[in-house]
Structure 1
């Protein structure tokens, strides 16, 4: 069975500084769950990795916001994500008490110990837990195996492969899913970005290789060119094993409202983000590209890669 997780209110927040109106956020969570999506991620807890001033509610993830969503959606469907550096142990019981039941940890590959300790505490509190191994395309496979094993030992229910740079190809996704499944009994998930237009193909490859958790967002709204598009993914599932499990019509209605009300939701593929995906560069490297001289972006990205920016 595939577990589908909506990340719009969180990953989509990179486009509008997480400033979703409360009435829209409540509507979005309610409609996502009503359409059959197993989990809805309602935001970050205490900010993203690099936080801008004036961060909106889905980037702060305060207790009163969680409680407001939990009044319209069962806590058993509510998820939040966090960077371990941004929280303390006190945040976890507060989140659980407010209504969150799935917590996701963005695990830094170089120093994962703090995140793994917090994950163990979350599991003790009764959370379903995932580890999101970010920028997996740049990670040595031996290190990926180590992180997957440590995550499982710490109590993770799911190990997510996050194609943060949107640079992976279906064969690569398949190989990494197979590798993680060979070294741990945890479920495996995919968080796909769409820099190369391959998010849907990569999700299909991941599931074919045994992944059972898939992230997506309405209209693909997410960092850079966005994520796997929920509407496309559910349409694909509806043609195969998904059948009538999900209410695609309801999701399309939600997509229409979001497109009408959230200006930054309009799908796009900025040319610099395509180049980032091509060279497997992170979105943070975008600031080093001469985006006002689009003809020079490709050669500048090539130089960054040659200089070891990865």
Structure 2
């Protein structure tokens, strides 16, 4: 296990982790096809993007009626992208409960270079067995805490230290609802940086238009790995826009090792081939960010709200009040029906 480089001035290397082919799946109901995956993976590889993540939006083993059935199975997605990458490393994501050790075994068999195991921000212990399995096989096993705005900087730092003890080679947080402002990020990443000696990562969503600013705050606070997606392709209002973040970091004096023109070409291809339109910050996305609700709920909330004739903004605020987390999609229906009944009463 190598120690993370210290947080420092300009010149520090920042590792960019491209989640377009995983988080972007949320935006198209997990329906990306084989040729779309191959085309973008080749473009990202040509640009020298260090890590390309692939899979269902909710990770390995998650394709289901509850959170969306993917057009392709995990094996097909992994083999397609693996064949397309010659320079970039391939990454996968798994949430315990959706994915299993068998899914990890298949990912390792497909030569996944990086495996991320995600849990709710206060439940890092759920990753212990999976991180141990990956550690024993010499895989770069990273751990990430979701819905991180629900925990204090001190609690997140404590969870990260435990994850390192379980075998995580890097740890980090996701702003799963796009709720953060830069000061929130600085406090949390700073606390994590002090608690661990492995690389720290940060993953932003753009519900309040702060994704690039929050990513900059993260790297200035000591983060070593930043997630981003081409054109922001991702759940809800989208993720940090990759082709904006990289030149911003380079202008600040940080190093990414990514070719600018190649990056811009990959982003143009993504807009043309992967998405009906780039993500936008619409009214529902703003409410989702304010309410602190998982961005991946957006499509499902809109569908259920339309069917039950209730205001999706009310659904989001009530989900936030109930502290709903990823995997609780069934709660969307319950909330909508409760709002409909209250209106009738």
Fold match (TM-score > 0.5): yes
Rate the CA distance shift 1:78–1:291 in 2: closer, same or farther, 3 A.
same
Q: Distance in 1 between matches of 2:315 and 2:53?
A: 36
Q: Distance in 2 between matches of 1:162 and 1:244?
A: 21
Q: Distance in 2 between matches of 1:49 and 1:83?
A: 14
Indicate which of 156, 166, 173 corresponds to 2:178. 166
Secondary structure in structure 1 of the residue aligned to 2:22? helix
Structure 1 range deviating more: 201-210 or 20-29: 20-29
RMSD: 2.8
Q: TM-score, normalised by structure 2?
A: 0.80
Determine the structure 2 residue equivalent to 1:14. 26
Q: TM-score, normalised by structure 1?
A: 0.88
Indicate which of 65, 72, 75 corresponds to 2:84. 72
Structure 1 range deviating more: 114-123 or 174-183: 114-123
Determine the structure 1 residue equivalent to 2:328. none
Aligned residue pairs: how many? 306
Secondary structure in structure 1 of the residue aligned to 2:101? coil
Determine the structure 2 residue equivalent to 1:287. 301
Tell me how far 1:90 sits from its aligned partner: 2.9
Tell me how far 1:95 sits from its aligned partner: 1.4
CA contact (8 A) 1:106 1:131 kept: yes
Determine the structure 2 residue equivalent to 1:47. 62
Secondary structure in structure 2 of the residue aligned to 1:67? helix
Tell me how far 1:156 sits from its aligned partner: 0.7
Q: Distance in 1 between matches of 2:63 and 2:145?
A: 15
Secondary structure in structure 2 of the residue aligned to 1:189? strand
1:208-223 equivalent positions in 2, closer than 5 A? 208-223=220-235
Structure 1 range deviating more: 73-82 or 126-135: 73-82
Structure 1 range deviating more: 237-246 or 182-191: 237-246
Tell me, which stretches of 5 or more residues in structure 2 are unaligned?
1-12, 325-345
Rate the CA distance shift 1:80–1:233 in 2: closer, same or farther, 3 A.
same
1:244-283 equivalent positions in 2, closer than 5 A? 245-283=257-295
1:120-131 equivalent positions in 2, closer than 5 A? 120-131=132-143
Secondary structure in structure 1 of the residue aligned to 2:48? coil
Secondary structure in structure 2 of the residue aligned to 1:85? coil
Indicate which of 231, 245, 248 corresponds to 1:236. 248
Rate the CA distance shift 1:23–1:53 in 2: closer, same or farther, 3 A.
same
CA contact (8 A) 2:122 2:156 kept: no
Tell me how far 1:240 sits from its aligned partner: 2.9
Tell me how far 1:97 sits from its aligned partner: 1.9
Tell me how far 1:262 sits from its aligned partner: 2.8
Q: In the alignment, does 2:201 pair up with 1:189?
A: yes
Tell me, which stretches of 5 or more residues in structure 1 are unaligned?
none
CA contact (8 A) 1:42 1:80 kept: yes
Determine the structure 1 residue equivalent to 2:337. none
Rate the CA distance shift 1:109–1:208 in 2: closer, same or farther, 3 A.
closer
Rate the CA distance shift 1:27–1:197 in 2: closer, same or farther, 3 A.
same
CA contact (8 A) 1:3 1:38 kept: yes
Rate the CA distance shift 1:42–1:301 in 2: closer, same or farther, 3 A.
closer
Indicate which of 74, 80, 94 corresponds to 1:61. 74
1:75-90 equivalent positions in 2, closer than 5 A? 77-90=89-102
Determine the structure 1 residue equivalent to 2:342. none
Determine the structure 2 residue equivalent to 1:156. 168
Q: What does the per-residue CA deviation read over 1:160-197, in whole Å, with 9 as the maximum and x for residues that have no partner?
A: 11000101010110110110111111211100000000
Q: Distance in 2 between matches of 1:263 and 1:54?
A: 18
Determine the structure 1 residue equivalent to 2:125. 113
CA contact (8 A) 1:196 1:274 kept: yes
Q: Distance in 1 between matches of 2:216 and 2:201?
A: 12
Q: Distance in 1 between matches of 2:50 and 2:275?
A: 27
Rate the CA distance shift 1:308–1:184 in 2: closer, same or farther, 3 A.
same
Tell me how far 1:304 sits from its aligned partner: 5.8
Q: Distance in 2 between matches of 1:81 and 1:75?
A: 20
Q: Distance in 1 between matches of 2:164 and 2:220?
A: 22
